[in-house]
Amino acid sequence: AGESCSSPARVHDAPGGIVMRFLPEPSAQSLRLLFLFLFVMGVAPSPALTAGCPDRCVCDDQLVVQCAGQDLTLFPNDLPLATRQLIISNNRIGDLPALQLNYLSDLVYLDCSNNSLTEISESTFGNLRKLAYLDLSFNTLLQIEDRTFGPLASLVMLRMTDNPGLGEIHPDAFLENIALQVLDVSRNNLTSLNISSLIALPALRSLGLSGNPWRCDCDTEDLCLWVKIEGFKFQEGQTVCYNPPELAGQRLADVGMQLRVDCHQGLGYWDYLFFIAIGFVIFSAGTVSAWVMGILMVLYERYTKRKSEEVDSDDEDQRGGGGGGVCGGGGGNQGNGDLSKPGMEV
């Protein structure tokens, strides 16, 4: 009766002399620790995601790797292979290493905006077949080469705005991106754009061109006409001519027909004179050639006729002289033969 309830253990006599020992009751602190451990184990990301999470990045159980605004100068290492969204914006990264990036074959979202990227090659995105969103805005890109985005068969949205040095995009840069719906190349340094591959994209529905110093001449005639015809595809903005000075400030859609007329003008006075002179020369040359050929044919015909007459005359002469000789020779031979035969002697 005098035992305390807080004693570490209790011993009771049981039938048969068996002693039963009970463990002490768990304290409140132990229970709190146990519940905390179970809670952490339940909500913590899986080891597959946390084991490879780069430094200064956050990886969650939604396969999103967030490395934005961490003042990174190199592409993050040890990225989880199952990453589906990678955000490395607002850093100072100068290169996208193809070897590391192409391990992320399940990547569908890539934000590289506001970095120091200067070059994108064909091998950069060589294995990103599932990538649907790509943002390369606010970088220092200089040009886009042939088939740069060719491997991105699932690419739907591509943003390449605000690259002050971007002045050239290869005509075939988007040739294989048949799923591309939104393309934004606003506020770059583009003066012309070959639209042959863009026209062939069946899903394209939005194209941003504003803020570029467009040169409105015969090289951009097709672009201006396309903007006018397919106006619903182009985003609002200052898509105006920068050069030549007489067209500066005018919208591309408004100068399309003017360029059409200027770049395909009709024949002038001197053009007609040139064609007349060329026709006269060709006619004269043909006439002289025909006259010379006619004279040559007449001379050749006369020559062949005279040659034929000479041959016939020679044949007649040979027949007349050859016949008398044969007769005389035959008679002489006959007489000589008769005289020489022994049976004719008496």
Q: Tell me: pLDDT of 175 over 70.
A: yes
Q: In this prediction, what percent of the chain has a pLDDT beyond 70?
A: 75
pLDDT tens-digit map of 141-169: 999 998 889 899 999 999 999 999 999 99
pLDDT tens-digit map of 210-246: 999 999 998 888 999 998 888 878 876 778 999 999 9
pLDDT tens-digit map of 40-56: 344 444 433 444 799 89
| CATH code for the structural domain at 58-213 | 3.80.10.10
Q: In this prediction, what percent of the chain has a pLDDT beyond 90?
A: 42
Q: Is the pTM of this model over 0.75?
A: no
pLDDT tens-digit map of 311-325: 778 777 777 655 554
The pLDDT value given to residue 265: 67
pLDDT tens-digit map of 24-40: 455 555 555 444 444 43
Q: What is the 3-state secondary structure (H, E, C) of the chain?
A: CCCCCCCCCCEEECHHHCEEECCCCCCHHHHHHHHHHHHHHHHCCCHHHHCCCCCCCEECCCCEEECCCCCCCCCCCCCCCCCCEEECCCCCCCCCCHHHHCCCCCCCEEECCCCCCCCCCCCCCCCCCCCCEEECCCCCCCEECCCCCCCCCCCCEEECCCCCCCCEECCCCCCCCCCCCEEECCCCCCCCCCCHHHHCCCCCCEEECCCCCEECCHHHHHHHHHHHHCHHHECCCCCEEEECHHHCCCEHHHHHHHHHHHHCCCCCHHHHHHHHHHHHHHHHHHHHHHHHHHHHHHHHHHHHHHHHHHHHHHHHHHHHHHHHHHHHHHHHHHHHHHHHCHHHCC
Q: Which is more confident, 331 or 238?
A: 238
The pLDDT value given to residue 72: 95
For the chain, domain boundaries:
58-213
The pLDDT value given to residue 309: 79
The pLDDT value given to residue 43: 41
The pLDDT value given to residue 29: 56
Which pLDDT band, with edges at 50, 70 and 90, does 304 fall under?
A: confident
Which pLDDT band, with edges at 50, 70 and 90, does 66 fall under?
A: very high
